[in-house]
Amino acid sequence: MYSSLAHKSTLPEKPLSTIPVSLFQKCADSIMNLTRQMITIGLYVDIACWCLLCILALAMGFHLKHLNRKQEQRRIALGRPAQVKDSSVMSLEEAREYKEELKLALLAEGKDVHDLNLDAFDDLTDRENPDFFYVSNVYLCRNQVER
């Protein structure tokens, strides 16, 4: 099969038909040469990888929740509101309503409204910026379902 690819490459229709056939034949040979033991081991390794992926995704979610709680404690210590919502996943109207709601809540507590995003444009890492919060995929999916 491979020698026909080299010898008959002058005709335009030959490479178009022989290359896919040769690739299909190579895949079929690889599948036919597998033993039952190799398939079983491969299946177990595949299932183990999927289980590991699920465990890592759950562990990441718990870790991000822990980091968000630490950020909330920092915000409380600085006199800022503990719960901050992500306005980047909101529509424009929802973001405006949230900003107004936040301003009213701060004024009711006697806090300075202009101090809210004081560190927004500073060059801070996520651990240094008290207004930063970690977003997991679960949070994004939950917001999409609520809409």
Contacts of 99 (CB under 8 A, 6+ apart): 87
The answer on pLDDT for 119 being more than 90 is: no
In angstroms, how far is the first alpha carbon of the chain from the final one?
A: 57
pLDDT in tens, 73-106: 888 887 777 777 777 777 888 888 888 888 887 7
DSSP 98: H
DSSP 11: S
Q: What is the per-residue pLDDT for 52? A: 97
| Mean pLDDT, all residues of the chain | 76
Which segments of 78-111 does DSSP mark as H helices, in order?
A: 92-108
Token pair in block for residue 48: 């183990």
* C-alpha 14 chain-centroid distance: 45
- Is 44 within 8 Å of 50 (Cβ atoms)? no
What average pLDDT does the segment 26-32 reach?
A: 79
Domain locations in the chain as residue ranges? 34-146
pLDDT in tens, 50-78: 999 999 989 998 998 898 888 888 888 87
Tell me what percent of the chain is helix, strand and coil, each rounded to the nearest 5. 70, 0, 30
- Of the chain, the percentage scoring pLDDT greater than 90 comes to 12
The answer on pLDDT for 141 being more than 60 is: no
